[in-house]
């Protein structure tokens, strides 16, 4: 009887620990699935512009050499330009069929592979591998 009790208690504790983790993951996952390409681009735009802002700030603070700053700034600007172009393409409504096909295949890919992330060394937040700066605290990410 005591074993049964311990088993139930253990299970309950384990469940209490695991259920919120599982739930969080589930809502996160469904949020990703429900997100359209448009939402994704808007968020990407925010992150990219935020990263540029952070970079400018770091440069102003003297944390970066001019050479590093110009190199990274050029990469980020190119990244932002791509995002802006994609948004403009969607807004113009051109090639809607291709867009839908791409969206569907992107969703299929998303379901199969999780986005690779790296943990921020200063706050521990997961960041996409392509990010150069933490989306949470703005620290430079080391890959
Ligand atoms: Zn961080």
Q: What is the 3-state secondary structure (H, E, C) of 63-107?
A: CCCHHHHHHHHHHHHHHHHHHHHHHHHHHCCCCHHHHHHHHHHHH
Query: What do you get for the CA distance between the two ends of the chain, in Å?
Result: 53
Q: Dig out the tokens for 130 from the structure.
A: 């392509």
Tokens of 37: 């390409």
Ligand 1 centroid vs 138 CA: distance in angstroms?
A: 6
User: Pick from 19, 22, 37: which is nearest to 110 by CA?
Assistant: 37
Cα of 32 vs centre of ligand 1, distance in Å, is 21
Instruction: Check residue 62 and report its DSSP letter.
Output: T
- Report residue 97 as tokens: 């069929």
> Which of 133, 109, 128 minimizes the C-alpha distance to 117?
128
pLDDT for 17-42, tens place per residue?
545 554 444 444 444 455 677 788 98
Q: Which residues surround ligand 1, an ion (CB under 5 A)?
A: 120, 122-123, 125, 134, 136-137, 139
Give me ligand 1 centre to Cα 70, in Å.
23
Ligand 1 centroid from CA 135, angstroms: 7
Name the CA radius of gyration of the chain, rounded: 21
Higher pLDDT, 117 or 7: 117
Those residues whose C-beta lies under 8 Å from the C-beta of residue 102, and which sit 6 or more positions away, are 37
pLDDT tens, 81-137? 999 998 888 777 656 676 677 778 777 777 666 678 889 999 999 898 889 999 999
| pTM exceeds cut of 0.85 | no
């Amino acid at each position: 009887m005591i074993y049964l009790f311990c088993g139930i208690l253990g299970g309950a504790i384990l469940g209490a620990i695991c259920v919120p983790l599982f739930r969080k993951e589930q809502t996160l996952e469904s949020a990703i699935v429900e997100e359209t390409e448009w939402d994704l681009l808007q968020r990407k735009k925010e992150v990219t512009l935020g990263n540029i802002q952070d970079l400018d700030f770091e440069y102003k603070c003297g944390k970066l050499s001019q050479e590093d700053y110009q190199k990274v700034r050029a990469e980020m600007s190119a990244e932002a330009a791509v995002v802006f172009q994609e948004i403009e393409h969607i807004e113009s409504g051109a090639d809607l069929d291709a867009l839908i096909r791409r969206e569907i295949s992107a969703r299929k890919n998303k379901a199969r592979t999780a986005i690779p992330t790296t943990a921020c060394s200063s706050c521990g937040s997961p960041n996409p591998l392509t990010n150069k700066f933490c989306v949470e605290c703005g620290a430079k990410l080391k890959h």
